[in-house]
Amino acid sequence: MPVYKAPLRDMKFLLNDVFDYPGHYQTLASGENATPDIVEAILTECGRFCEEVLSPLYQSGDEEGCKLDNGEVTTPKGYREAYDQYVMGGWQGLSAPEEFGGQGLPASMGLLKQEMMGTANWSFSMYPGLSLGAMNTIFLHGDEHQKQTYLIPLTEGRWGGTMCLTEPQCGTDLGQVKTKAEPQADGSYTLTGTKIFISSGEHDLTENIVHIVLARLPDAPKGTKGISLFIVPKFLPGADGGLGERNAVSCGALEKKMGIKASATCVMNFDGATGFLIGPENQGLECMFTFMNTARIGTAIQGVGPAELSYQWALDYARERRSMRALSGKKDPDQVADSLIHHADVRRMLLTQKAIAEGGRAMLYYAARLADHMVEAHTAGDEQKAAKYDDKLGFLTPILKGFLTELGCEATNLGMQVFGGHGYIREHGMEQIVRDTRISTLYEGTTGIQALDLLGRKVLLMTQGGAVREFTLKVANFARKHLTNKQLRPMSVELLKLTAQWNLLTVRVMLAARKDRDVVSAAANDFLMYSGYVTMAYMWLRQAAVAVDRLNEGGEESGAFYQTKLATAEFYYERLLPRAQAHATSMLSPARNLMQVEPEHLAFTG
C-alpha cells in the first residue's frame, strides 16, 4: 500500500527562505511563541502523526465508508482512535486563542497542519476542519456568552462543528434559503427546514456537534438580505457546561458520493430545533463569509495536497516500473527494460505534478501571511487594518480555491496516467485520489462561482480593476529586481510582460462589459485561470531567486534541492505558463458565441 511522506524540506524552504516566516512571526503578538525551534517541532510531530496514523486509514476508510443507522452515523474503523490521538495532541487548538484553551499560535500554523493532514487523509481532515470554521465564526461574531459556551469544547476537540447553508432547492444561490427561524419568549429560536451536503453533519467522533445555520426570520426581506445566522447544537449545552437535552436536529440520509466516502456528507433535518442568533438579524450571510472564506482557503489545500500525494506515489512507481527503452538509448542496460522515469513524456507528467504541488504550496503560504495579519487585527479590534488585509486576501481567495483545485484535478489524473492500467485499479490508490479530489472544484462554490466572485465582484464591482493593479505592482517590482541576473532574467522579463497584460485584459473586459453584461460571465473562468497562472509564476520566480542565491553561496549539502527548484521553475515558465495566453485570447472572445444558440436548439434533434 502506498504511503505518504510529509514534504518537510519543501515546507521549511518556503517558510524560512522564501517568505521569512521567522521574521514575520516576530511582528505578531500571536507569534511570540512561534520560534523556529517550536515551529520545527510542531511540523515534525504533525508530519509523524499524518504519516503513521492518518495515512494508513486513507484507503481503508474509502473501502468501508460511513454508515447510517437510526439517525446515528458510524465512521470507518480506526477513525475514532485517530481522532482521540488528534485531540490528545492538542492539534485542534493550535491557532485558537489561549483564553479559550488554545495555544494562541498564528493562524498560519493551523494551515500548515491542515495541509499535511489533508494530504495524508482528506476525508479525516474534514471533521476537525469544519470545526475550525465554526470556531472562527463564533469568535468573530458571537457574544461573550456564546464564546464561553462553545469555544472551549470546540477548541479542545470534544465538540465538532459544521456549516449548514445549502438546501434542496438552492446551491450557491442562498437567496432561496427557506429554513425558518421563529423567535421564542426566552430569546432563543426554533428552526425548521432541511439542509443538504452537510459535511460532518453527524458522526461518532465528538460528544456534540455545533451547527452554524442560515435561516430566515419572520417578515425578513426577500433574497440574501433577509438571511440570519444561528447556532444550533446537537445537544443543548447544560448549565454546568456539559451536555443537556437532545435537540430536534437529525441526519436523514448520507449522500452516496463519488469520493471522500469516509467523510459523512449528510442531509440534516431541523424539526423545530432550538437555535441561538449569532450576529445581527438579517446579516447572516455577511457573518457567514468569515466561515466561507476560511473554508475556501481550506479547500484550496485540496488542490495542493492531492497533487503532492499523487506525485509522491507516481514518482515511486515511475522509478520502479520498467517498460521499453528510452529513445536516447539504454539507461538500465542490465535490466529487461528502462524505468518509466527515463521516458520524456513521463517526466512531463511528473514535473507538471511537482510544479503544481510546490507552486500551489507557495501560493497558500503567501496567503497565510496575509491571514495572520487579518486575524491579528481582528483580535486587537483594529477593524481598519483588518479590512485592509481582508481585501488583499479576498482578492486571492477565489484564485487559490478555483485555480488550485482545477490544477489539483489535473495533477491527480496525471498521476493515474503514470501508472497506466494499474492506476485504474483500486489497490494502487491512484483512482481514489482522483475521486476524492474531484469534489474540490464543486463545494464552497464551484470554479465558475469563484471566477464570478473574482472578476465580477472583487475586480470590477468593488475595485474597478484596482485589486489587479495593486497586486501586479508588487509582482512587477519583484521581477524588476532580478532582471540583471542571467539565470533569472528570462523569467523576470516574461513575468513583467504578464503583469502589464493582466492590467490590459482587465480594462478590456471592463469596457466590453459596459456594452454587454454577459461578457463578465463569459470571460470569468478564463480570467481566473489566467490570474492563477500568473500568480503561480510569481511564486516560482520567488523560489527560483532563493535557489540561485543559495547555489551561488556554495557549500550546501542540499545543492541538488536548489538545482531542482530552479529546473522546476524553468519547466513551469516554458511548459505550463504559456497556457495563460490561451486563456487571454479566450476571455476576449465575444459573449455572443456562447449565447447565440437558443436554449431549445441545444438539444440533440436527430
Mean pLDDT of 390-404: 95
The DSSP symbol for 330 reads -
Span 129-162, pLDDT tens digits: 999 989 989 998 999 999 999 999 999 999 999 9
Per-residue pLDDT for 606 more than 70?
Answer: no
Q: Where are the domains of the chain?
A: 287-360+374-439, 452-593
Domain 287-360+374-439 has CATH 3.30.450.90: no
User: Strand runs (DSSP E) across 90-237, as ranges?
Assistant: 159-164, 180-183, 189-199, 208-215, 228-233, 235-237
* pLDDT confidence of residue 175: 80
Per-residue pLDDT for 597 more than 90?
Answer: no
Span 200-259, pLDDT tens digits: 999 999 999 999 999 999 999 998 889 999 999 999 999 887 899 999 999 999 999 999
* Residue 532 phi, psi dihedral angles, 5° rounding: -65, -45
- Written as one letter, the residue type at 304 is V
> pLDDT band for position 465 (50/70/90)?
very high
C-alpha cell at 180: 425558518
- Written as one letter, the residue type at 568 is T
Q: Annotated catalytic sites, by residue?
A: 444
Mean pLDDT of 418-437: 97
Q: Which residue has the cell 442562498?
A: 174
Distance set, CA 195 to CA 163, 442, 459 (Å): 10, 17, 32
